[in-house]
Chains A and B, each alone.
Chain A
Amino acid sequence: MARLMELDGGAGRLSDQNDSMKGRSPPERDAGDMIEHQSEQTSAGSEVNAAALDEARLRQQAIGVRLRQMFDEVVNEPVPDEFLDILRRADKSAEQG
């Protein structure tokens, strides 16, 4: 592989790759990966990277909001009478016992 790169003129190919990367947003990754890989990025990519990091944070926040909403939806349901009936019965047997 290394030899192939040399024969093709590896340096030239690498710079071509860099040029083509500039206009492109980084591949979609999750927030954790982005944080881990951030230090490996070149300074040229840091602005794009920061934006992607913000985007990832936004997405995680959005999921968090929805998760709480999903949970709270059940919390806000009226409690079925059964629950209180059971407690009432338990209470009586406690008094008798």
Chain B
Amino acid sequence: MVDRSPRDPALDNAFKAEIVTLIPHLRAFARTLCGDATAADDLAQDAMMKAWDARASFQMGTNMKAWTFMILRNQFYSEKRRSWRQSQLDQEAAERTLVAVDDPEAPVALDELRLSLGMLPPEQREALILVGAGGFAYEEAAEICGVAVGTVKSRVSRARRALQAILEAGAYDRDGGAAGDAMRSILADAERLSTAR
């Protein structure tokens, strides 16, 4: 399957050095896809190994971040097709992940943003994450998701609107949260962040 012909060790080292810098980003992307932190790290590791095995097909100097994200995404959806039961977002696991945020100062609104994101259709969520948080251009996100640029643009814009509506209505999936608090908290925090910088 994979080209086993001898490779230039310098090339392998360069590849490895670059992929190491991408691990944190792969973990973050996997976390948004899986919800559960442990499953996300498994996914990120699988993707990293797939990328390593396929390194002969990667052209150094091209966009390795987009390439590895595409591998990770494909891996996620092929696993999901294989086993619905395992990959369906497990509510308990999601809650464990939220509790596992170890910064005690972490504002409540971050959890609410996560829960609200979880309510978006997967294709909207991933488009918004790639463009809004992952730092990808629309064109790159389109390549990663295997769809047209226009499709990504419309998914991102629909995701933004839906997310705001969910946050403002306090309609995210949690008991006891006061309606409207999430948006207020996010606004207050954005203000604090912008003045701090």
Q: Which residues of A are at the interface with B, using a C-beta cutoff of 8 A?
A: 28, 30-33, 56, 58-77, 79-80, 82-84, 86-87, 90-91, 94-95, 97
B114 contacts the other chain (Cβ, under 8 Å)? yes
- Secondary structure dominating the interface of B: helix
A62 CB to nearest B CB, Å = 4
Contact check, A76 vs B48: say whether CB atoms are below 8 A apart: no
- A-B pair count, CB < 8 Å, reads 106
The residue in B28, B41, B48, B101 that gathers the most chain A C-beta atoms within 10 A of its C-beta is B28
Name the one of A56, A79, A84, A94 contacting B27, with C-beta atoms under 8 angstroms: A79
If A59-B187, A65-B193, A68-B132 touch, does A83 touch B161 (CB 8 Å cutoff)? no
Residues of A with C-beta under 8 A to B113? 63, 66-67, 70
Tell me which residues across on chain B come within 8 A of A32, comparing CB atoms.
157, 160-161
Q: Which residue of A lies closest to B168 (CB)?
A: A28
Interface size class of B (residues with CB under 8 A): 35 or more
- Can you give 13 contacting A-B residue pairs, CB < 8 Å? A30-B161, A31-B160, A31-B164, A32-B157, A59-B164, A63-B163, A65-B194, A67-B129, A67-B132, A69-B110, A74-B24, A83-B48, A84-B20
Nearest A residue to B28, CB-CB: A74
**Cα of A79 to Cα of B30 in the assembled complex, Å:** 13
Per-residue contact bits, chain B 114-155, to A (CB 8 Å; 1 contact, 0 not): 100000000000001100111000000000000000000000
